[in-house]
Amino acid sequence: MNKTAIHTPDAPAAIGPYSQAVRAGNLLFLSGQIPLDPTTGKMIEGGIEAQTRQVMLNLQAVLQAAGVSTDAVVKTTIYLTDMGDFQAVNEIYSQYFNAPFPARATVEVADLPRGAQVEIDAIAFIEG
């Protein structure tokens, strides 16, 4: 199997031994993004709405580096440290996708890297 790492300076650098995304055939697997500013590497302040927007911008940057948009996303997983944030996250999230929306799972977790409140990963399909 041929697999290719995707990297862009427009999204936060990996904070561990992983790639921002890996393309394997027509599938693109995006690592979970947390709300880090790609320029400073610091956590975005401003609550769950601001954090969710930054996560989505980071995902968009990685998708762009692979030559696709959010329209290529077929599956996401949202990790929340507080399921009480579900509605606020859902509202921001919905602004970044068009119908048909990706399949999705949302789970509450005890903790996320660097104290983030939200993390989102994705799988996209690339034509050709």
pLDDT at site 27: 98
pLDDT at site 112: 97
| Residue pair 113/41 in contact by the 8 Å Cβ criterion | no
Is the pLDDT confidence value at 1 over 90?
no
pLDDT at site 72: 98
For the whole model, what pTM was predicted? Answer: 0.96
Dihedral sign, Cα of residue 86, residue 98, residue 38, residue 31 = positive
pLDDT, tens digit, 9 for 90 and up, residues 74-118: 999 999 999 999 999 999 999 999 999 999 999 999 999 999 999
What distance in Å separates the CA atoms of residue 48 and residue 100, rounded to the nearest whole number? 25
pLDDT at site 128: 76
| Residue pair 31/8 in contact by the 8 Å Cβ criterion | no
Per-domain boundaries in the chain: 3-125
Residue range 3-125 forms a domain whose CATH class is: alpha beta
